[in-house]
Structure 1
């Protein structure tokens, strides 16, 4: 079982890293995509996307660190449930030609029941990493190094948000 847990942890970590980075590298693409869902008031969309991207980056690191595993697993499950709810909501409304807005390795595919099933499989993968022990997890100086990188990322994101606020005030 440990090899399955390892596989799920690494795969999910890479997946969340790619989607989290994509939210910052293609920020305005995600703003447009999220607006089309019509679930979040327009004034909060940029903050929500920055928060989602930050949480996805946290999950990508946390799934590989023993002391962060539980919180990262919970965050991953909550994010995936939120994303899945939004897709199901749009499917039930009959929305056409709406992409998932996932980005990263998943890409930006049109929402279908297959994308909802994919999220269900991802949730099961997180549950596997959350439930079963992983002896391989990093316990050395690496968590300190990674947490430093996370703090730098969060600081950079905060500075970007301030920059976005200044741009909005100019308009």
Structure 2
């Protein structure tokens, strides 16, 4: 169970860090996406974006380094819940053409109930990290005096490699989803032109 927790921890770290990097790279687009959700008053958008961005980075780095992982997983779960609520509010309003604003490994898609389910799955991973304390890859364990060879030994690198492989597969799946959607749009456009 400890190995599964570490796989989840590293995978989630990649999700949060890559999302944070994407929102930093496209900062003005990120601000625009938050505005498009029409949940926050205009004056709060920039402040929220900075806070959200900072929390994503801190959560991702904490998970990656294994520093206060349970707290980071709880905070990550809270972020995912908040994003899911924002998605659901706009889906219930009938606003399906918004960008999710996820970025990074999670990709950028038009909002849908599939993204809410994906977030619930990621929240389940957060709960696994929260409930199962794992010392593999934990800088805090090394600082606490545990053996570096145990914390960062062969088992850790196998577990970390598995998490990276899962992240790669997740990324490929996201890209295939985007390609599929574009193909469907092109086919629909071609059918309209043929009619």
Same fold, TM exceeding 0.5?
Answer: yes
**Partner Cα distance (1:44, 1:128) in 2:** 33
Q: Is 1:23–1:49's contact at 8 Å kept on the other side of the alignment?
A: no
What displacement does 1:67 show? Answer: 4.4
- Give runs of aligned pairs for residues 1-171 of structure 1, distance below 5 A: 1-136=1-136, 137-139=138-140, 140=142
What displacement does 1:133 show? Answer: 1.7
SS in 2 for 1:63: helix
The TM-score normalised by the length of structure 2 is 0.69
SS in 2 for 1:109: coil
Structure 1 ranges of 4+ moved more than 6 A:
none
TM-superposition CA deviations, 1:24-79 (whole Å, max 9, x none): 11111111111111001111111111111110111111124454223212211111
Show structure 2 runs of 5+ residues with no match. Answer: 144-195
Q: How many residues align?
A: 141
TM-superposition CA deviations, 1:112-148 (whole Å, max 9, x none): 111110000000000000101202122236xxxxxxx
RMSD: 1.3
Pick the structure with greater CA Rg. Answer: 2
Q: Is 2:84–2:116's contact at 8 Å kept on the other side of the alignment?
A: yes
**Partner Cα distance (1:39, 1:63) in 2:** 29
The TM-score normalised by the length of structure 1 is 0.78
